Amino acid sequence: MTLPRYFLNIRRHGVLIRDEEGDDVPDAAAARVLALETLREMLRLPHVYGPPCEWKRNVFVITDEAGTVLEEVPYDVLL
């Protein structure tokens, strides 16, 4: 069985940066979990992603394969 593909696009300063690869996960809820796990990893690695104050206004825009926006997850949801 093939899993659907979801995309964690990023809206930064009003500009949408598309996730060209996406991730195969079971459903939209799993895509949200992936977004939150990614944010936790970013918080642990400020030397890679920069200090959170510089990116906390960004938003993950989760879309499905058709490009439909399913959810928006603000980066500051964990701050």
Does residue 59 carry a pLDDT above 90? Answer: yes
Map residue 76 onto helix, strand or coil.
helix
Q: How far is CA 69 from CA 56, 64, 66, in A?
A: 20, 7, 9
Residues facing 26 on adjacent strands: none
- Residue 9: per-residue pLDDT: 98
Q: pLDDT tens, 1-58?
A: 899 999 999 999 999 999 999 999 999 999 999 999 999 999 999 999 999 999 989 9
Task: Give the model's pLDDT for residue 56.
Answer: 86
pLDDT at 1: 84
pTM of the model: 0.93
